[in-house]
Structure 1
């Protein structure tokens, strides 16, 4: 890790775009210890087994026909930075296409530094990631599954939990997301439309509350349904794992807490909690199959108000 080299990379940001993505990657990696991905045979087999078992159990529990990506990537932190620089570059391209401010050099440096700080924080904390590759080109794969091995090892050790069990929990959670996108082929396009519309509004100097509400409601459903499947599919108790992870989040220092707020991770936690409460109510009232009706089409997604009033959603769908 070399903080001086990280600052130097941001300061030397250049090019014609609003963000120098090469500098973002260089700065984030300079500020982050990559960690080790020299896996033992047992660890490599463990990841493959966890993903396969998660796929099979979720298929049975949810009666969903889906598959996981052909390639499961076991990454260190620098691998994760490179993969997500490509993602952010693709998603933010519409904003960059709108041009620069009156002081392009200053704006580029600030934008580059902001992205580098964000990716640095995430690279040190992300454990696993199912990526549906929104706004990907026709030649790109349509989804990807990553595990950041050094972070999984570090967090399991800091929480004093069994590492293979913790790794399996992460694998099951990410595979539930693959199940959702497999159950709803329309979901990627739905989210892409709202991302693009939101970015267009932002580039025009405004923010559409409707686009934000629809995106937030959809992501709340995605996170909540994943929690529901975890409850039914994971083959071990995990309340202790969740409790320890929540305690770890709450016990972080003020800078880490600020970073989480700026990155919207508090909103993500709210999505977990609201979505989980919605699906628990629906499942208790009508069963797991009724909960799965959210994936029949975008018209079946609950509105933001219905997430807090599941009975209204059940009534609208005639369930």
Structure 2
């Protein structure tokens, strides 16, 4: 019944734009079970306590001051899809404005592709820090997809509470980055607008794409560093099992991840963490946090592979 709902939603895609976002949401949710967010009081307190503790630990270890997002939600998969349909629609609006009156067949293909992507992600995302780029509101948001956290903890055979807490530390580390660097959202927005502007003109701006990649590598790498070094428990087994799960995916799942660009995101995690591990070993996590003091402190593409160049350029 869910697959039928998805196919029907895509087939009924309408409008003048290149993507029918209402159909995207309906199709994505039609192919993914929402899962339960019927939490016990202890589970609700667990999420709240993890976020508060992560804020305190990250602030202390990283020597950064920041506020938690105004929106912190424990979601089911359908809630996550709805939130991210809104985000994707906002981010892609400039491209859509350049592609009005798209033929129906192309609209069906675009709508189906986006629904497929969001259904896959909705079934796999554990937590998300959303800086709400290009939004009118200044506030950010933090999401935990409870059914996915429960499922993956079971698959990894790890303690659910400890696994949930570890995920919270990673997402709160992202809050620390954007809180410590008020300029970061603007920097990403401007770079994205340059990239999208070039695409609407039929060009590929490699400079803006490269800048976006290096910035996101720093963002993901720092969060990986802080996730581990600020976490107040053992985590080696969690990381080892999560890495084994990622490496052991079947060929279809690996192909889907490649098509969605998740291989690039994984490379950003690994490359960024390798950079920050060297910096933190030399100067501590607080020293690594200097990357957020000024846009000029962001590592260059070369520095990401040779951290000592960054250490020589950015004084203590």
TM-score for both structures, normalised by structure 2: 0.97
Please say if residues 63 and 289 of structure 2, whose CA atoms lie closer than 8 Å, have aligned partners that are also in contact.
no
Structure 2 residue 109 is matched with structure 1 residue 146: no
Q: Who is 2:271 aligned against?
A: 274
Q: Who is 2:109 aligned against?
A: 110
Structure 2 residue 241 is matched with structure 1 residue 244: yes
Please say if residues 100 and 107 of structure 1, whose CA atoms lie closer than 8 Å, have aligned partners that are also in contact.
no
Q: Who is 1:310 aligned against?
A: 307
- Structure 2 gaps, min length 5: none
Supply the distance in 1 between the matched residues of 2:85 and 2:315 (Cα, whole angstroms): 44
Give, in angstroms, the shift of residue 286 of structure 1: 2.9
Q: How many aligned residue pairs are there?
A: 316
Supply the distance in 2 between the matched residues of 1:114 and 1:231 (Cα, whole angstroms): 35
SS in 1 for 2:158: coil
- 1:186-213 CA deviation, whole Å, 9 max, x = no partner? 0000000111111111121121111111
- 1:71-123 CA deviation, whole Å, 9 max, x = no partner? 3111000000000000000000000000247x611111111001000000000
Residue in structure 2 matching 1:163, options 160, 164, 172: 160
Give, in angstroms, the shift of residue 240 of structure 1: 0.9
Supply the distance in 2 between the matched residues of 1:208 and 1:256 (Cα, whole angstroms): 30
Please say if residues 31 and 119 of structure 2, whose CA atoms lie closer than 8 Å, have aligned partners that are also in contact.
yes
Please say if residues 201 and 208 of structure 1, whose CA atoms lie closer than 8 Å, have aligned partners that are also in contact.
yes
Instruction: Tell me which moved more, 290-299 or 212-221.
Output: 290-299
- 1:261-299 CA deviation, whole Å, 9 max, x = no partner? 111111111111111111111122233333121111111
Supply the distance in 2 between the matched residues of 1:122 and 1:106 (Cα, whole angstroms): 25
Supply the distance in 1 between the matched residues of 2:258 and 2:185 (Cα, whole angstroms): 26
Q: Which residues of 2 match residues 1-319 of structure 1 at below 5 A? A: 2-100=2-100, 104-137=103-136, 140-319=137-316
Once superposed, which parts of structure 1, at least 4 consecutive aligned residues long, lie more than 4 Å away? none
Please say if residues 36 and 76 of structure 2, whose CA atoms lie closer than 8 Å, have aligned partners that are also in contact.
yes
Instruction: Tell me which moved more, 236-245 or 44-53.
Output: 236-245
Give, in angstroms, the shift of residue 124 of structure 1: 0.2
Instruction: Tell me which moved more, 56-65 or 181-190.
Output: 56-65
TM-score for both structures, normalised by structure 1: 0.96
Give, in angstroms, the shift of residue 181 of structure 1: 0.4
Please say if residues 13 and 112 of structure 1, whose CA atoms lie closer than 8 Å, have aligned partners that are also in contact.
yes
Give, in angstroms, the shift of residue 141 of structure 1: 4.8
- 1:13-69 CA deviation, whole Å, 9 max, x = no partner? 001111000000000000010000110111011000000000011111111111112
Supply the distance in 2 between the matched residues of 1:177 and 1:318 (Cα, whole angstroms): 24
Please say if residues 36 and 150 of structure 1, whose CA atoms lie closer than 8 Å, have aligned partners that are also in contact.
yes
CA 1:159–1:206: 2 relative to 1, 3 Å: same
- Structure 1 gaps, min length 5: none
Supply the distance in 2 between the matched residues of 1:217 and 1:71 (Cα, whole angstroms): 28
